[in-house]
Structure 1
């Protein structure tokens, strides 16, 4: 794999990977810390993008312009929207859409002005590879052979059933969706949407502009409604960051 950037909105989502790069070089650009190193024989750049679409777009542009990254992976948590998408599941994006984009009546609602589309695609080959790595990690957890995470640890974080991997549409917007009314409104506008977060569609648009492949992996931390997960930080530390470390190591053959 060419030089890979692994991006998360929050530092805690990358903690396991950062610990796996003890010799990484720190480069500061645009108010961000970029860690350049090697994992599983592959060149990688880790960075916390900060939260929201503008922050994600800035980070992506710097990665592509300054660090000559050829592949991007965004990973982190999201709220579940689709039927059957449960806490602890993983969503791998096929397409990404900005649910708060509205330049109507000049352009159709949700369409990105002058692009002629309301959504940007993740790279199909990279996403299949990512999905296979996710499936392998979840199978290892169920078999009790995953070094990162056990079934008991998942249950302690509110993951009641065996987690699954889903592929489909992910929504992004500069709003933390945490009420049933908001979630239902998004589901009405986008019935096929599986999850909602705050960065992925921006990263995908910048990657589209540069012609660089990207993939987005989201661990479901809550259902984006009135029952939203009460210990968000614990879920990131104990589940999402461990998923990320195990999945990326599986993709790169790093052995964890």
Structure 2
């Protein structure tokens, strides 16, 4: 059996720059207005790319990773808005299930149901969730985030004790910036922890091609009018560092070369 090839997609260019810095012998290939950087991390074949924003763009990127670069697993990292009130800026959500909150083909089928698949949620296997949790948890329990990013930087965004959450993530081609949007989504999908614009679409592409996937999101805002984060600074100083540290830990634990 050959070694795996890992695809890593970032929702922001800054979030993949740090990951690319981990690569040995990086090679850049432009396909469909996207720059795919291939090389190795810890001896494992890896392809890193900025997904672009929205479900269609991210799906096209995932399909290219699968069909052109022959990835065997996909990791998606990026930011999200908090829907659940227990989430704080700087927390991280590891997706257990993903759903497209703007998918509605009623009366032909149920709301949120994916046409032809007969399912509404794309699920990550319980065993995989357990391994991922064990691998990433030290970032939050051992003070690694604070030490690596700096307590002063984290404090600037009100981040004191970031936590790891596991649960449902909703995706759709909408940017949430109003309390009314949050209430509407929460009423329809009360188990959703956070909202973003790509993850569930990427999960569907991976599911249809039998590719294991991981979606990890850093909470950047509260998805309402009260959000006042300096978003560019948050991306460059916080979420990009989260992505780098998460990938490093995944390669040390979850992702290993095949013998």
Q: Counterparts of 1:23-38 in structure 2 under 5 Å?
A: 23-38=25-40
The residue number in structure 2 matching 1:165 is 164
**Which moves more between the two structures, 113-122 or 205-214?**
113-122
Q: Hey, what's the Cα distance between the residues in 2 that align with 1:70 and 1:22?
A: 19
Distance 1:117 1:228, change over 3 A: same
**Which moves more between the two structures, 49-58 or 2-11?**
2-11
Contact 1:40 1:249 in 2 (8 A): no
Q: Hey, what's the Cα distance between the residues in 2 that align with 1:22 and 1:38?
A: 5
> Residue 23 of structure 1 aligns to a residue in which SS?
strand
**Which moves more between the two structures, 225-234 or 122-131?**
122-131
Distance 1:250 1:143, change over 3 A: closer
TM-score, reference length from structure 1: 0.93
Deviation at 1:143, TM superposition (A): 8.6
Alignment equivalent of 1:10, drawn from 1, 9, 12: 12
Deviation at 1:142, TM superposition (A): 6.2
> Residue 17 of structure 2 aligns to a residue in which SS?
helix
Contact 2:15 2:244 in 1 (8 A): no
> Residue 158 of structure 2 aligns to a residue in which SS?
coil
The residue number in structure 2 matching 1:46 is 48
Equivalences, count: 251
Q: Hey, what's the Cα distance between the residues in 2 that align with 1:15 and 1:74?
A: 14
Q: Hey, what's the Cα distance between the residues in 1 that align with 2:145 and 2:52?
A: 35
> Residue 28 of structure 1 aligns to a residue in which SS?
strand
Runs of 4+ aligned residues of structure 1 deviating over 4 Å after TM superposition are none
Alignment equivalent of 1:85, drawn from 84, 87, 102: 87
Deviation at 1:66, TM superposition (A): 0.6
Contact 2:139 2:145 in 1 (8 A): no
Q: Counterparts of 1:44-123 in structure 2 under 5 Å?
A: 44-123=46-125
**Which moves more between the two structures, 223-232 or 53-62?**
223-232
Contact 1:8 1:76 in 2 (8 A): yes
Specify every segment of 5 or more residues in structure 2 that has no aligned partner in the other structure, as ranges.
254-259
Specify every segment of 5 or more residues in structure 1 that has no aligned partner in the other structure, as ranges.
none
Distance 1:123 1:58, change over 3 A: farther
The question of 1:245 aligning with 2:247 is answered no
> RMSD of aligned C-alpha atoms?
1.7
TM-score, reference length from structure 2: 0.91
Contact 1:90 1:134 in 2 (8 A): no
